[in-house]
Amino acid sequence: MSIKMTRRSRRLLGGVAVLACTLAGGLTACGGGDETVEDSATAGEVTWWGWTPAEEVIANTYIETFNKEYPDIKVTFKQVGLADYDSVMRPALASDQGPDLYGIAPGVTFGQFAQFGIDLMPAMVELLGEDWKSKLLLTAADPLIDEAGALKAAPVGINFAGPVWINQDLFDQYGLEPPTNFDEWVEVCAAFKAQGQGCYVHGAQDAAFNRDVIQSISDTINPGLMAKALAGEEPWNQPDLVATFEAWKRMFDEGIMEEGALGVTHYPDAHNKFLAQDYAMIAMGQWYGQYAVESILIPAIEGAGVSNPEPFTVVPILFPAANDQATPGAMFGAADYGLAVNAKSKHQKAATTFALWLATSPNAQQVVANALNNVPALASIQIDWEAAGLVNLAVQQGPIEQMIETCKTTTEGRGMEHDPAVIDSLGQAASNVAAGNQTPEEALEWLQATLQG
Amino acid sequence: MAVTKPAAGPSRRQHHRVLQQGRGQRRSRGQRRYRVQRPGYAWVAPAVVISIGLLYFCLGDTAYTSTLQWDGVSPNPEHVGLRNYSELLHDPIFWRALRHCAVFLVITFTIQTSLGIAFAALLHSRIRLASLYKVIIFIPVVLAPSIMAPVFRLIFAADGQFNWVLRHIGLGFLAHPWLGDERTSLYVIMFIQVWEFTGLTFILYYGAMSQVDHSIIEAARLDGAGNFRTLVSIVLPIVKGTTVALLMLSVIGALKIFDIPQLVTLGGPNYSSEFLSTYIYRHSIPLARVGFGAAASMVLLVLAVGFSMIFARLGRRGGDR
């Protein structure tokens, strides 16, 4: 086949080439426009991507407070769902188009994404002094420091799992007391169901939240044991963990878990059902305190699909004791997230200003504390309960305050640092036991062989 | 009919010469085919760049990645040779996912094809409101799975509308957490697939049946064939090409299906609705095992291409007959 180029064709081809060059030039000019922007610590536009705060109203409160001190730095928050966070951040950070600031959690996320952040240690030392770590809570900073000693993210706050949150209004309405052990829990759920009210909702499709509940059960039986098993320091196939899995199975068999829990996600399904008051109890970490704040709860209820949302009283209780020898209560966690500054950012100074302001400024940490999404990293900060705006201060303040004080002294980890395959295997064992495919003993033998064999 | 004597043809030698000339012409045409004049390169360059750049480069890159132990971002991936493939073939979840693909293919193809043929045949007969029925059958095809997935999650939840209906028609004993039970989750995925894509099967058969010569149908009627016999013995063999094409699409679709299981069941509970694509995603993204995921992707590619070739050959063989 021969292609004969007429004069007209040549002109057309030439025109296309000129158009393509013009477009390419224009795009290059657009893309390269930022290169001429001077990086300043007090002015600029900064993008911030994170899975938390889950409610944008909290992030916007942080930014509004920040802009009172730094009016010339514009921060734009983009909430990326937890489930999609890794898949979104990997290509974003590998490219030149990633955010200026990004949230980073200890453990696997830190292992993957810390390399893209700058070292914030010099700036932190300059702000808080050489003994900066002593001004933070125990578990806030260390998980965000890499092997070379670089602080890759400014710690904003710490987070703990372990409690169960209840809708106190529903308990009062049906004249029920929160359960302190599994026998009472079974009775409470039967009573709720007899009234046509859902009792405890859990998204057992999510391995990470199954891990939280199983670790809570385990902690009531033998505190710290499961954290050690996750770290490979204790075998899985031992009696206290068998008892843990038996209690987990009991939740499905005796009507504590809602029907079909294995097909439900914790976020958003179970979370939305709790906010819609379809269920009276849910296992969530201390971060769920944010829904005790009326200004955060109302839009969240609307987001759960409820029209004309009415606030209700959310209160944490200790995780019920799993058997006769167990003690109620469990708490485990670490740094929730830090803010990392992207090494490819053209606004590193402005981004660093915001990250360190949120982590170290008493004003910022007070806003963090009052939002009840995190326990603030700065140890000196106390919650201003009047300013926080709880739905029912008299009922909520005591239990939430007690929970937060426990968090501040807890050192047991949540297992975030482990390979995701460990959590995946644990999730598989948990599902198999829940579905009756394996006995607790069989599942734990399998876990032992898979993870430590 | 009069039989006429054939005209005297060319001699064997003449015939040979003609053949030689023809071959020569073909050769010269073939030679010219590859001789593209210089300005022509500018025209074919975009297509070459796109096909090589986007397709073959990505294939090569995935094949290379499949030999790495890599989380997708680390600057120092470890070369592990064929270890990912070995691990893949020893993973029972991989084989389970493949089984699900096979079961999914057999059941959804059978039901979709049966329904597609039935709807197409019915709507070729003179029925009232045929246009409305066509629209109703085809609408699910244009609805994005991402829109419908939350709806189906609600419908098949333990406290969902499907169970509500069952309880209100006296079939409460069948009410069930359809998505939360590993015995039923795969069937819910199949149901959604059939609901969504029967419209496409229908429209293809409807178009194919429109091409059937009416005189053949009338001849069958004259020979005493009823509706069913005409459909089975006359129409279906004629539209066999459509069936083979749909089978090929269904095989590739079963190997590639991702959106519905990922959005409705996340491949669970306990991998009961895991497919090859959700398996690849789970390893590549949440578990950050990009090299292992790439190895599974290469297996998926080989299976898809292999099956396509088999069915293409079957289709040609059927056409030759």
Digit-coded pLDDT (tens) for B274-296: 999 999 999 998 888 999 999 99
Looking at residue B74, what is its pLDDT? Answer: 82
Interface with B, mutate which of A152, A259, A273, A418 (most B CBs under 10 A): A259
Residue A173 belongs to some domain of the structure: yes
Nearest CA in chain A to B41: A3
Residue B220 belongs to some domain of the structure: yes
Which helix or strand (DSSP H or E) is residue A333 part of?
Answer: strand A332-341
Q: Which residues of B254-263 are buried (b: 16+ CB within 10 A; e: fewer)?
A: bbebbbbbbb
- Same-domain check for residues A147 and A170: no
Q: Summarize pLDDT for B24-52 with one digit per residue, the tens.
A: 444 444 445 556 566 778 888 888 888 88
Looking at residue A354, what is its pLDDT? Answer: 97
Looking at residue B1, what is its pLDDT? Answer: 37
| Chain centroid, CA B229 distance in Å | 29
- Same-domain check for residues A186 and A117: no
Q: How confident is the model at residue A8 (pLDDT cuts 50, 70, 90)?
A: low
Looking at residue A352, what is its pLDDT? Answer: 96
Residue B146 belongs to some domain of the structure: yes
| Total number of domains constituting chain B | 1
Q: Which residues of A145-171 are buried (b: 16+ CB within 10 A; e: fewer)?
A: beeeeebbbbbbbbbbbbbbbbbbbbb
Q: Among residues of chain B, what percentage have pLDDT more than 90?
A: 63
Interface with A, mutate which of B33, B35, B49, B73 (most A CBs under 10 A): B73
CA-based nearest residue to A342, from A165, A142, A102, A146: A102
DSSP string computed for B32-80: HHT---HHHHHHHHHHHHHIIIIIIHHHHHHHHHTTEE--SS-SSPEE-
CA end-to-end span of chain A: 65
Nearest CA in chain B to A89: B73
Residue B28 belongs to some domain of the structure: no
Looking at residue B312, what is its pLDDT? Answer: 78
B196: CATH: 1.10.3720.10
Distance CA B292, CA B57 (A): 19
> Checking DSSP bridges between strand B78-79 and strand A279-283, what pairing results, if any?
unpaired
Four-residue CA torsion sign, A365, A366, A369, A373: negative
Residue A38 belongs to some domain of the structure: no
Q: Which residues of B touch A111 (CB under 8 A)?
A: 71
Looking at residue A31, what is its pLDDT? Answer: 38
Residue A391 belongs to some domain of the structure: no
Q: Please name the member of B158, B182, B268 whose beta carbon is closest to the beta carbon of A258.
A: B158
Looking at residue A5, what is its pLDDT? Answer: 47
Considering only CB atoms, which residues of chain A are within 8 Å of chain B? 1-5, 9-10, 13, 83, 86-87, 90, 93-94, 108, 111-113, 115-116, 204-205, 258-265, 269, 278, 420-421, 424, 428, 431-432, 435, 437
- Same-domain check for residues A173 and A260: yes
More confident residue, A139 or A344: A344
- Same-domain check for residues A296 and A434: yes
Residue A271 has pLDDT above 80, yes or no: yes
Residue A311 has pLDDT above 70, yes or no: yes
B288/A108 CB distance under 8 A: yes
Q: Please name the member of B43, B180, B288 whose beta carbon is closest to the beta carbon of A261.
A: B180
| Total number of domains constituting chain A | 2
Q: How many CB pairs under 8 A join A and B?
A: 107
- Same-domain check for residues A195 and A271: yes
- Same-domain check for residues A240 and A186: yes
Which of A321, A347, A382 terminates a domain? The answer is: A382
A259/B182 CB distance under 8 A: no
Token readout for A30 is 């657009």
Mean pLDDT of B133-154: 93
Residue B83 has pLDDT above 80, yes or no: yes
Looking at residue A220, what is its pLDDT? Answer: 97
Residue A396 belongs to some domain of the structure: no
Q: How confident is the model at residue B17 (pLDDT cuts 50, 70, 90)?
A: low
- Same-domain check for residues A194 and A250: yes
Residue A343 belongs to some domain of the structure: yes
Range of the domain at B252: 85-320
Cβ partners under 8 Å of residue A323, min gap 6 = A181, A182, A221, A243, A247
- Same-domain check for residues A151 and A173: no
Q: How confident is the model at residue A56 (pLDDT cuts 50, 70, 90)?
A: confident
Range of the domain at A218: 163-330+402-452
Residue A23 has pLDDT above 80, yes or no: no
- Same-domain check for residues A248 and A375: no
A205/B181 CB distance under 8 A: no
Q: Which residues of A touch B180 (CB under 8 A)?
A: 204, 259-264
Q: Please name the member of B39, B42, B71 whose beta carbon is closest to the beta carbon of A112.
A: B71
Which helix or strand (DSSP H or E) is residue B29 part of?
Answer: helix B12-33
Residue A412 belongs to some domain of the structure: yes
A282: CATH: 3.40.190.10
Distance CA A229, CA A237 (A): 10
B182/A113 CB distance under 8 A: no
Residue A11 belongs to some domain of the structure: no
Residue B18 belongs to some domain of the structure: no
Mean pLDDT of A427-453: 92
More confident residue, B1 or A391: A391
Residue A4 belongs to some domain of the structure: no
Q: What ipTM does this complex have?
A: 0.75
What is the radius of gyration, based on Cα positions, of chain B? 27
Residue A21 has pLDDT above 50, yes or no: no
Token readout for A305 is 């699909």
A264/B39 CB distance under 8 A: no
Q: A64 to each of A95, A354, A361, B306, how far by Cα in Å?
A: 29, 12, 14, 58
More confident residue, B277 or A37: B277
Q: Summarize pLDDT for A349-370 with one digit per residue, the tens.
A: 999 999 999 999 999 999 999 9
B182/A262 CB distance under 8 A: yes
B185/A431 CB distance under 8 A: no
- Same-domain check for residues A67 and A187: no
- Same-domain check for residues A48 and A80: yes
- Same-domain check for residues A59 and A178: no
Residue B180 has pLDDT above 50, yes or no: yes
pTM metric for this prediction: 0.80
Q: Among residues of chain A, what percentage have pLDDT more than 70?
A: 91
Q: Which residues of A touch B159 (CB under 8 A)?
A: 259-260, 278
